[in-house]
Structure 1
Amino acid sequence: MNTTRRRGNNDAPAPPSAARISILLLAAAVLAGWLMMWVMSPTTTFSSSWAPRLASHTNSTYFGKQGFRIMIYVFPVLFVSVVACIYLHLLKSTDSAGTQTRRYEFCRRMATWRRPLLVRGPLGIVTGIELAFFFMFLVLLVWFYSNFISHDFSKINVKPAENKLWQAELDRAALRLGQVGSLCCAFLFFPVARGSSLLPLIGLTSEASIKYHVWLGNIAMVFFTAHGVCYIVFWASTGQIHEMVEWAGTKVANVPGELALLSGLAMWVTTLPRIRRQMFELFFYTHHLYIVFLVFYALHVGVTVFCSILPGVFLFMVDRYLRFLQSRARVRLVSARLLATEAVELNFSKSPCLAHNPMSTIFINVPSISRLQWHPFTVTSSSSLEPDRLSVVIKRAGSWTKKLYETLSSLPPSQAGHLDISVEGPYSPATSAGFLGYDSLAMIGGGGGITPFISIIREIVYRSSTTAEAVTPRLSLLLIAVFKTSADLAMLDLIIPASGGFSDISRLELRIEAFVTREIIVSTGDVTRNVPVKEVWFKPSPSHVPIAPVLGRNSWLWLAAVVSSSFVIFLLLVGTVQRLYIYPIDGNTNRVYPWAARTMLNLMLLCISVAVPTTAAAFLCKSRSAEMEEQIKDVATPVMSPTTWLDKLDSGDAEVRSSPQPSLEQVTTVHFGRRPDLRRMLLEIDGTNVGVMASGPPGLLEDVAAICSLLLVNQYSLILYNAFGDGLRSEMNHTFHSNP
């Protein structure tokens, strides 16, 4: 679908597409070179030719052996990260009809690879391209380990008659198992950097990438555990069990490695599905042991080897510190809508410079409930339709959401005072409106899973009301909402914003099919009538601020400046300390600077290099946006809330007829006592270009994935291109695109 984009006075002119293509090619070339270094590192060519030649140019009095690894492992990734920031800034400035069309055509060509091949299994829903990369990564691990082992075993000079050959081989095998685990750690932190530019560069979001972090973590812990067990067996068999309590000063230290392994095992055990689901807080708090793991891992291997995994750690530290700075502020909560189904819609004040895409995710913390718990929720508002508001829907699903609902329901409906809330995000998909490239769009949501589609509907309403009909063809929308009880139908009221925004959706070809699975029939006499939606309004507080991007409007450019300046400062600090303090000691043949002290010193310099420029950039951006924030006016007059769907039900499979939003009720049909026949409904959709999106419980996602996989037999092509939080738990929801 072709769309137009209105350019404001502050929007940059559209750069030529050749610039973006050049940036992508440059980033791909550098990233391929970085991967090639990992592939070649276990070979004789690398160890005997490449490494000595590169080390001769980097082994100076300023960086020592550390400079070699910084050049081949750290610099390429950070360079790609900065280049990706520039690319995303240009993409944001030129998100026009042409770019959307080209992006969609590329997705169509990749449809076969991005269809789900595995639906139910330990890996979850896995697409063809994910499975291909997963097996390629396993091949890399096998290549990495086998080449090291064959090279090491060929150098063992122990005579077989001495019965020590197996011990020597065990020693080398254990060492290389640890190096394979380090290779996994080199990729481990990329998926959990929510604001990183690397994931959007390849069309991923942090929510969609969590499963890659899980895969890498499991593989890494398998190798690290085998590494530790093999060394314990080796020490016991050679009478060197005392090595377990040795902390060497100038070589690999065993005690820190054991502490790192124990902290890793604690995190690993608590990620088991039963423990994570039944004792989520234990899993959440235990996972913060990653700090202990990283510190003791660095002390175990030394700062030189630690540089191999530094890129992911560096970008994660930048992202984590930016999140920390944003979370220090208390945001302005304007109002809350409480539904009879115990779902809550929170409406926040938003800075005009914050533009988020549909299906964005925001993390919320309510200190009065828990100072440590942060929960992800899908943003339901449209940045275009509601420029000064940001809304999320929270459905009761646990103790935290229960306490939040009870807190809000106990407040008076008007001028309820203040409620301290902190946020992180929102985190948006790289593409602003990829769903506009379809003739028909089917959205399947279970319970609170319909929340991502609310933002899509609002965005399409805005575009249909502000864009000429001749330029924007109609998009046929089908919303299939599956609820347990009739009370949950109140979730559909949230399609209309609390601030008004729109009341006429007649320009949309929207059809809503709602299914109530646990009630056979509901008539007007069977439900509680006149149950209003309670709306709570909060007094403005001088200490509360609108939600704003921590790095301002041009956040990608600022992130590029933060990453590059942090890396430069780190190099300057490390070079200065090495030249003036460490090298004079190492240069003396009778003395060697302790590994532990040097490692801790480098970690401290790393923290300083990240904190100083990041704080300065955030403070500067906040100062520049202060004038804009002062222009935001507090809402003083409440608007009418839509009535609850409990007043609209008729018997049987009836169409809802009595609502303040006639155009919404006329397109809604409620079915009782059955589940939707998804396969039939999808096949009945008209159009040559159909998109299918699913959000909700894992069982629903698996059913949709299985159906869409079967539709491939009937000339349906399918793309799994995104995932986002369902607003209730940290479960993953998947989006499917189908092109018949």
Structure 2
Amino acid sequence: MDSNVVVRSSSPPSHEGIRMVRTAIRLFLVLVVFGGCVLIYVMMPTNTYRQIWLPRIRAEAGSSTYFGAQGSTLLFYTFPIMFIAVMGCVYLHLGKKITDYKIESDGKTNRIAVWKQPMLVKGPLGIVSGIELTFFIMFIALLIWSISTYLTNGFKIITPQSAAKSHEKVWEAKLESASLRLGVVGNICLSLLFFPVARGSSILPLFGLTSEASIKYHIWVGNILMVLFTAHGTCYIIYWAVTDQISQMIKWEKTGISNIAGELALLSGLALWVATIPRIRRKMFELFFYTHYLYIPFMVFFIFHVGVGYAGIMLPGFFLFMVDRYLRFLQSERRARLVSARILPGESLELNFAKSPGLKYNPTSVMFINVPSISKLQWHPYTVTSNSNLEPEKISVVIKGEGSWTRKLYQVLSSPSTSARIEAAVEGPYGPDATHFLRHDNLVLVSGGSGITPFISIIRELIFMSTAFQSKLPKVTLICAFKHSSDLTMLDLILPMSTTTPYDISNLQIQIETYVTRDTQPKDNSMNLRSIWFKPLATDEPVSAILGPNHWLWLGLIITSSFMMFLILIGIVTRYYIFPIDHNSNKIFSSPLRALFNMLAICMSIAATASAAMLWNKGSNAKELKQVQHIEASPPRGSEVYNAERELESLPQQSLVQATNVHYGQRPDLKRILFECKGSSVGVLASGPKKMRHEVATICSSGLAENMHFESISFSW
């Protein structure tokens, strides 16, 4: 849970000790280790680093017969980040031991919340908070500092005399120097590129981030990276052209820089970059999705281009991403047991998967789904609507037919000739480490269309808390806008359909304001509902954590063991194969071959350790998985919420129907609704279309209501 929230429920003394340990770990990792890494990047362009620090480091670490010059890069750039990742796993594992819930916020939380308010709403960066804007400005300042310092120091040594010795003009020598420095600064971006897209990252939670919310950072860094690398390649081509060295473009050196490898890497990156243009991504998602696999040749040829020594600067982020990617691959190889599907009007689906009772996740978590019969390669993310506490044996997602893939799935399931089984695979769920929305007095959830799905998971969590803890919870106002009245059936998903845990929402204050924008009167859609139950196969498995209930400890073990195995492999190869060639003969060992050895060692290390951990956990969890192979559940009920003539039996004191107002032919007056919300702290969460999220963010950042704290839940992947 959020460490900045005061606990009102009883808390054992051991929990306070765990919190103190977690706080100490977090402060040490973020302030000391990460701060030291930032200092290194700040000092890299300076003469102090290049003329004093680097020679000493290379003298100590670079003289190793096991790692050679690569040793200094591993020591300075890779070890600190790996240490943060492993200790982050310990931090997250300790957080799972804290089971009590935190309700009220303190003054420190409110002060921090001011920095989380939107500072920019419209523009190329989207909705940006004060903290995000501050760190973005600091990152841009680092890049400007680096390139300006590199250029200043590089141009100082370029004189007419030095240029004449190379048969160059001064401006040509400066062009070459600038070209090189652009690539060096681009590598700073590359070192950060893969951290936001590691879905099971142990580093992002240390900064209060999730992989879903960090996608925009990946986009920002990726765009800057491609600008720098494109400028780097273009300037070199111009330099070779004006100095009659155009033949350099087709050279693949056995030692040093391989130009043609860099060009192949740049071409792969450019093709990937073009496909990320928003219009292409929205209209041709398949093209965007498939071209993203070009990151593989991009990284391979980049390592061939610069060599393993320099590539070690970006190694930590890529190594951790590869660990995460391989674990996702192992999970995706399983066939998830799809128990049932519910066909809703408006081309909407609810898919219900069997899950292991030991799998826990927080509200607003995301699960990636693949249906091989539609596309073997495409994976699409959807918010999990079920609650792991109320529904321990089921995990559900809602899919809205808004693209070609989702429409094909809807057509397959809604067809009367649908077979008794459909194959599916899943990755995840991935979600936040803490439930932070509990600190508010009032919770306003603003959604448009399928944007209601993350709020279903939040409301179900509040239902569980109102039943289990009998604590004071924030008052909830759900504002949802739909295009057609047929979409109103999505409100039926707010309450769990069938659970083994009884629940009571008499303590939950909730008001639902629904707006149907294109229909002026209600329409009867009850006859369009349909439920499908699928026959399982013996090979189907419930959705479960790939590394079991102690996932974070196992992940820390995988990171540690795979990295150590990588070091052992390259140490053996260097000591007994590369070192003798470099030092006992007149030959110099090929840089591309050495790079190939390193890439193979990384892949072998990660595959061996992660596979062993997965097989160990699969064996230990076999009994639990077997218990949920024969889940039987009652058929889902029909549409109830927007039909005011029916009363829900699960609400003994208040009907959800009575708490729901439907407005036809109207759009919500968001400014009026939000300004009428009372309370010292009003949490405003917006999910859905970009225009709607920007409107809510503009209202919250206007300064007219200081008690509002905005958060955007975006579906922009």
Q: CA, structure 1 residues 539+71, in 2 after alignment: closer, same or farther (shift >3 Å)?
A: same
1:675 and 2:667 are equivalent in the alignment: yes
1:368-383, aligned counterparts within 5 Å?
368-383=373-388
The answer to whether the 8 A contact 1:14-1:93 is kept is no
1:68-217, aligned counterparts within 5 Å?
68-97=72-101, 106-159=108-161, 164-217=169-222
Q: CA, structure 1 residues 489+6, in 2 after alignment: closer, same or farther (shift >3 Å)?
A: farther
1:658 and 2:658 are equivalent in the alignment: no
Q: CA deviation at 1:717?
A: 5.0
The percentage of counterpart residues that share the same residue type is 48
The answer to whether the 8 A contact 1:444-1:479 is kept is yes
Between 160-169 and 690-699, report the one with greater CA deviation: 160-169
1:499-518, aligned counterparts within 5 Å?
499-500=498-499, 505-518=505-518
Structure-2 separation of matches of 1:52 and 1:152: 18
Q: CA, structure 1 residues 637+357, in 2 after alignment: closer, same or farther (shift >3 Å)?
A: closer
1:451 and 2:447 are equivalent in the alignment: no
1:718 and 2:717 are equivalent in the alignment: no
Residue among 283, 287, 307 paired with 1:278: 283
Q: Deviations over 1:127-169 (max 9, x none)?
A: 1111111111111011111111111111124338887111111
SS in 2 for 1:511: strand
The alignment of Structure 1 onto Structure 2 pairs a total of residues equal to: 702
Q: CA deviation at 1:275?
A: 1.3
SS in 1 for 2:478: strand
The answer to whether the 8 A contact 1:531-1:644 is kept is no
Q: CA deviation at 1:503?
A: 7.6
State the AA in 1 paired with 2:80.
Answer: P
The answer to whether the 8 A contact 1:361-1:724 is kept is no
1:699 and 2:691 are equivalent in the alignment: yes
Q: CA deviation at 1:572?
A: 0.7
Q: Deviations over 1:395-419 (max 9, x none)?
A: 1111111111111122579xx6221
The answer to whether the 8 A contact 1:411-1:536 is kept is no
Residue among 581, 598, 602 paired with 1:606: 602
State the AA in 2 paired with 1:448.
Answer: S
Q: CA deviation at 1:633?
A: 5.3
State the AA in 2 paired with 1:701.
Answer: R
State the AA in 2 paired with 1:267.
Answer: L
SS in 1 for 2:395: strand
The answer to whether the 8 A contact 1:15-1:90 is kept is no
Structure-1 separation of matches of 2:636 and 2:602: 53
The answer to whether the 8 A contact 1:345-1:392 is kept is yes
Structure-1 separation of matches of 2:8 and 2:399: 32
State the AA in 1 paired with 2:277.
Answer: L
Q: CA deviation at 1:620?
A: 0.7
Structure-1 separation of matches of 2:393 and 2:153: 63
Residue among 417, 422, 431 paired with 1:419: 422
Q: Deviations over 1:26-79 (max 9, x none)?
A: 212111111111110111111111111111211211100100000011110010
Structure-2 separation of matches of 1:163 and 1:328: 57
Where does structure 1 lack aligned partners over 5 or more consecutive residues? 649-655, 726-730, 733-740
Structure-1 separation of matches of 2:45 and 2:636: 68
Structure-2 separation of matches of 1:510 and 1:453: 12
SS in 2 for 1:337: strand
1:512-531, aligned counterparts within 5 Å?
512-522=512-522, 527-528=523-524, 530-531=526-527
1:486 and 2:485 are equivalent in the alignment: yes
Residue among 542, 545, 558 paired with 1:562: 558
SS in 1 for 2:527: coil
Which residue is equivalent to 2:3?
A: none
> What is the TM-score normalised by the length of structure 2?
0.94
Structure-2 separation of matches of 1:127 and 1:325: 36
Q: CA, structure 1 residues 631+240, in 2 after alignment: closer, same or farther (shift >3 Å)?
A: same
SS in 2 for 1:112: helix
1:37 and 2:40 are equivalent in the alignment: yes
Q: CA deviation at 1:617?
A: 0.7
The answer to whether the 8 A contact 2:390-2:464 is kept is yes
Structure-1 separation of matches of 2:27 and 2:660: 48
1:641 and 2:627 are equivalent in the alignment: no
The answer to whether the 8 A contact 2:438-2:473 is kept is no
Q: CA deviation at 1:17?
A: 2.8
Which residue is equivalent to 2:538?
A: 542
Which residue is equivalent to 2:320?
A: 315
Structure-2 separation of matches of 1:6 and 1:27: 26
State the AA in 1 paired with 2:516.
Answer: V
> What is the TM-score normalised by the length of structure 1?
0.91
SS in 2 for 1:578: helix
Q: Deviations over 1:587-607 (max 9, x none)?
A: 135110011111111111111
Q: CA deviation at 1:502?
A: 5.9
The answer to whether the 8 A contact 1:81-1:198 is kept is yes
SS in 2 for 1:302: helix
RMSD over aligned Cα, in angstroms?
A: 2.1
The answer to whether the 8 A contact 1:174-1:226 is kept is yes
Q: CA deviation at 1:660?
A: 4.3
Q: Deviations over 1:483-531 (max 9, x none)?
A: 0111111110111223256685333211110001112233xxxx34651
Which residue is equivalent to 2:593?
A: 597
Which residue is equivalent to 1:460?
A: 462
Q: CA deviation at 1:273?
A: 1.3
Structure-2 separation of matches of 1:620 and 1:343: 39
SS in 1 for 2:114: coil
Between 626-635 and 13-22, report the one with greater CA deviation: 13-22
Structure-1 separation of matches of 2:247 and 2:36: 42
